[in-house]
Chain A
Amino acid sequence: MIAPETQELTRVTATADGEEGLFELSLGPHHPSTHGVFRMDVVLDGERVVKLKPVFGYLHRNHEKIAEGTSYLASMPYTDRLDYIGSLTNNWAYALSVEKLAGIQVPERAEYIRVITAELTRLQNHASTIGFLLQEMGASGSPLMYGFREREKILDLFETLTGSRMMCNYMRFGGCRVDLPVGWLEQTKKVVADFPRFLDEFENLLTDNEILMARTQGIGVLSKELAIQSGVTGPVLRASGVNYDIRKVDKYGIYDRFDFKIPIGEHGDAFDRYMIRMLEMRESVKILEQALRDIPAGPIMDAKTKLRGFRPKAGEAYGRIESAKGELGFFLISDGSPQPYRYRVRPPSLINLTVLEDMCIGYNVADMIVIFGTIDIVLGEVDR
């Protein structure tokens, strides 16, 4: 069985004789601005984008098939490799789905640890995303290093807690793998208390910057209707003015206990997407302060859950969380055996790319790079 018809990209009419016309450009896969191995087949009219088709799959390793051939527990380390910037949120989304599938309760302390690690993940993700964005705009070096400096402090915390900076493999169905090491909470409190100072510094450097404004304001506008229709989630959706954050809507875990706000954009342009991430970091700091204050003592694993030889009853469940990139979901079907019959990842990075063409048409090539940077994708998750 083959595709009904392979689509041909617009014919190139520019000739070597100097005849002007449309120009076909294959941008990537090995390009510093494409965040990995990602290609855009672009048709240009001069500098203006006429057509854009994203091409990916270079990093495809069929994560879903591998997960269907192994036990539920064995897929947990592999989820780290999806969005490798935010491995802890991937862990949580998978753990949450399995907990839904098997009806597992999570102890309170574990829920707090999950919130703390997930919000720290969001902080370091947004900080480095903004750094990358500025790098692509031509602000070479400094903003990215500012972001990475803060990210490194958080990764150090992850390393003390889980033994790994990026591939944390920390959560389990029914709780977390190990308890917090001695002094970890104090160290985290210090990092969180210092974070607003970094945000002020970062914003001083960037938000009022004339070049950043000129490069982002009114660029890559995504309307509210199109954003909903095309299933865009996360900061990109909220920048378009849709009040939809799964932490508030589903109230998974213990998010109903914290007092925090959801920043909403007005224009849906690249600047709003940048600003939403800045504001979201401030809200995450608020959540972290409350969680670090209230975290109770107690067990970190549900005593009744057997991790080895785990066999949930036949059935299915879809669980989702608000990861730093958007809605990260796992759809699991169990047939009662130790392996999932169906294991599906709903990748926010992939689905947010659906509207890339609509956002880029009519803008210049340089703007296209900026618009792509504001979507914030990780190819490990797009290609799986």
Chain B
Amino acid sequence: MAKVTVDGVEVEVPNGASVLQACEAAGKEIPRFCYHERLSVAGNCRMCLVEVEKAPKPIASCSYPVADGMKVFTDTPMVRNGRRGVMEFLLINHPLDCPICDQGGECDLQDEAVAYGMDRSRFQEGKRSIKDKYVGPLVKTIMNRCIHCTRCVRFCTEVAGVPELGATSRGETMEIGTYVEKALTTELSGNLIDICPVGALTSRPYAFASRPWELRKTDSVDVLDATGCNIRVDTRAGEVLRIQPRTNDEVNEEWLHDRGRFSFDGLKRRRLDRPWVKRDGKLRPATWAEAFDAIAARMKGLPGERIGAAVGDLVDAEAIVALKDLMAGLGSHNLECRIDGAAVDASRPDFWRFNTTIAGIDEADALLIIGSNPRQEAPVLNARIRRRTLAGTFPVGYIGPRGVNLTYGHDWLGEGPETLRALLDGSHRFSEALGRAERPMLILGRGALARPDGAAVLAAAWQVASRHNMLRPDWHGFNLLHLFGGQVGALELGFVAPPDLAPPGPPQALWLLGADGFDASRIPADTFVVYQGHHGEAAAARADVILPGCAYTEKEGTWVNTEGRVQRGRLAVHPPGEAREDWKIIRAASEVLGARLPYDTLAAVRARLVEVNPVFARPDRLERRGCEDKSGPAGDPGSLSDAPFALPISNYWQADVVSRASETMAECARVLLPAVPERIAAE
């Protein structure tokens, strides 16, 4: 530790820390453009100048290591003059287009210019102008505004793992760009907009939409993948204008994946905004009363075992518990939350959770990925794996389709379960790497379980974990990576049929709560289907009654991420038309079905959640547990087939019901999906 005095305040910082970090520890704010906590230090903007005792010149604090006994001054005439000079130079080639700049109001350069800028420029020559670059459908570039901090270059190279941005040419002709025009092939490109300190990289869908001070900000949680990124929903006049990440070091740090950030325009298309009832074989608009009457007419009096219910990928825990209680009231045990057919064993939480936790990836020292492409299934989590691979020795084994680019180096072990078998008997070369590791971990993709021998895959993966010392009281290295934000919540609430109770036949009535994306023609023709959800797709078209519900930005809801972390989303905008909160719809339906649910308020529903599973009592907190019980899930590894693993998400941009309705995401899919388009070749 080094003792540093900053403006008379003595602080202790670790050796090797930078002066800037020492100043922050002392509570002094240092202006900066190129320095970013989660990127490497570049030291090229020179805005963070401070004065150090006995140093003849001001020093750039971001790249200057502390020394014991150092005396730092952050507010002397020398410092202020130095920063003013730097600001004047930065503004030399910066256009004065703040009134038409989308960064206006949240621009670092604007803020610092208030503190250190002059009201006039001494620069009489012409400003340089740079052509705008095309870097994809999400990020808009206005390169005249660029101050060459190279944060975007470092982000692409270090965090996103797609070294495609660079600084070409030199001196006054230096440009940030891809040199060969192309769309950035990363699922994290939206973060470039956040880290750009000026308006050079702005959001294309948000272009000229609003000013930051006009927006109402609502803290929420992203459900479009299972990472559970913390987000802030910015709205104006009942309309979502953008979604930005919130910092949560244990989950998403400060990143957000593109689908979570940009697919919100799908919340305005294909919406279910009124009840529909099928009459004479055709869906017709109806009132809520007519819809409930239709449900009562068909479902009341049905034997419980002939009623079924399924929940989808994005549903909040409140609605799930309400539906579960309603089904219990109707005497039905036919519950299903694994509509993708994944053979998740619901008997013990550590069979379905990401037990190592996302933050725990930093501590792991070997990784085996089975049947998953984290880059597409959880891009933010993948960025953490990548950072771990850069931090030191971290062998990554990968079982899945060949040629997948995970953004970090990995050892491709095989395509299918035969590699699992080899790992099981320890004969595989990667067993040795896992054996050397002290804290090995394994990520099993949910997609690897959605196959006929899914239970065997799960059991085999568990035994691989057990064999390679991943299951210890002090370390749990078995992880299941889910795909969407509502999947774990349903498992935590036990929304599955008891294994020993097989339904006597096909259900006569089926309640689909946001359950979509499966083959609706599998439902028998004479089954009465209630679809409750927010977007219309195949399942809604098949339904006999449609009940319009809320999307994740439109309700107070609880979601559980893949780790089992309970997080709350809050109402940012009101639902469209006559749509209502999902648990309230189920509560109202329970009345007409004669199985009245005992809760009338959100607080009462949440109390019920805690009753069902105490984990819901502690939102945002997650206890890490080791593995106390090594006995594995039901399933026989011997019955593994030889079929290679297929990845569940082939189209990252349109993987869920919201993004499938989004035009932004459709454009992304068009540009980015057919391999990597070489626009230069086409021209």
State yes or no: do A and B come from one complex. Answer: no
